[in-house]
Amino acid sequence: MNRFFPLLAGVISMAVSAAELSVRAVQPGVYELVLTNPTALSEGEARAHIAKAASSVCRGATATLGKWRYASSETIGGAAPPSAEPNTFLFVQEISCVASAQAQSTEHLPTLRSEEEAKTAQNEVKLKSEVYFKLIASRRVDEALTHMTAALRMSVNETRWKSDKLAFQAMAGEQLQVSIAKITVYDNPAGAPEPGLYVAADYSNVYREMPIHCGYLMWFRPVGGEFRITREETGHVTSEQLKSIPNAQLPEVKRKLRCPAL
């Protein structure tokens, strides 16, 4: 996910409601679509915008989704961290325009052979997610980084990533609870960046100075490989920020942070 070809051709810009979309031709039949929005969008909303634009870009051919990445920052209940631009959303998707017959020949066969295998994968991801958060809580960020896919590691500045995780832990304080509230399995889904098993772990954690810490980890296991994190979405509210949020607004805040129901 996250490795893109250099720009070879021009740039097309178009408006998608409040969002803006730019299209870059990176080689014949291959394009990079960059969606920006002033507020965070769900992955589904972003991909819906991309899909609508992709059909126009491919002009009758079938748009096949490829590698992608995104970044999101939204201020809730206080100032955004210094490293983030408040209220921004960026989603980058690579697409290939192929003849319809060629697109139809691509099959997405399941990798799991039984419900028991699915349950085993869920349990493994739950344990790995708990370990990941505990490594960060104990400031063992080098070990935490090894839980990410090689592609994701290529897309981040590792020094900055470690610094941000250490700063987060200093702000959050002692870890009081790690709760993996929901596990969702996506077995070799159509449109995925790579073939294999994707498992989302929705979490709701609690720290001494951060009573709300929500989001999800998307784990990816290629055929014959091991689970690694391919995407991480996170949001939080500190104890000080929580004081300024009326109780009536808490459900909406948690919804924006994508806190799972416990």
| Gap between the Cα atoms of 90 and 20, Å rounded | 10
Report d(CA 10, CA 14) in Å as an integer: 14
Q: Are 242 and 212 in contact (CB under 8 A)?
A: yes
Q: Going along 38-105, which residue ranges are E strands?
A: 62-73, 88-98
Question: Which residues are 27's β-sheet partners?
Answer: 30
pTM confidence score: 0.67
pLDDT tens over the chain, length 262 residues: 322 222 222 333 333 446 788 888 888 788 888 888 887 777 677 777 888 888 888 887 888 777 777 666 555 544 444 444 455 778 888 888 877 655 444 556 888 989 999 999 999 999 999 999 999 999 999 999 999 998 888 888 999 999 999 999 999 999 999 999 999 999 988 777 788 999 999 999 999 999 999 999 999 999 889 999 999 999 999 999 999 999 999 999 998 888 987 6
Q: Are residues 23 and 100 in the same domain?
A: yes
In the block, tokens 């839980």 appear at: 147
pLDDT at 64: 77
Domain that includes residue 159, residue range = 115-256
Same domain assignment for residues 16 and 59: yes
Is 57 within a domain? yes
Q: Tell me: do 54 and 120 sit in the same domain.
A: no
Q: Are residues 147 and 248 located together in one domain of the fold?
A: yes
Give pLDDT tens digits for 80-90: 444 444 557 78
Please provide the average confidence, as pLDDT, over all residues in the chain.
Answer: 82
Which amino acid, 74? E
Calpha distance 97→55 (Å, rounded): 9
The reply to whether 143 and 252 lie within a common domain is yes
List, in order, residues 6 or more apart from 36 with CB less than 8 Å away.
19, 20, 21, 88, 89, 90, 91
Number of domains in the chain: 2
Rounded CA-CA distance 11/21 in Å is 10
144 and 187 inside one domain: yes
Q: Are residues 170 and 237 in the same domain?
A: yes
Q: Domain holding 173: CATH number? A: 3.10.450.590
In a domain, 262, yes or no: no
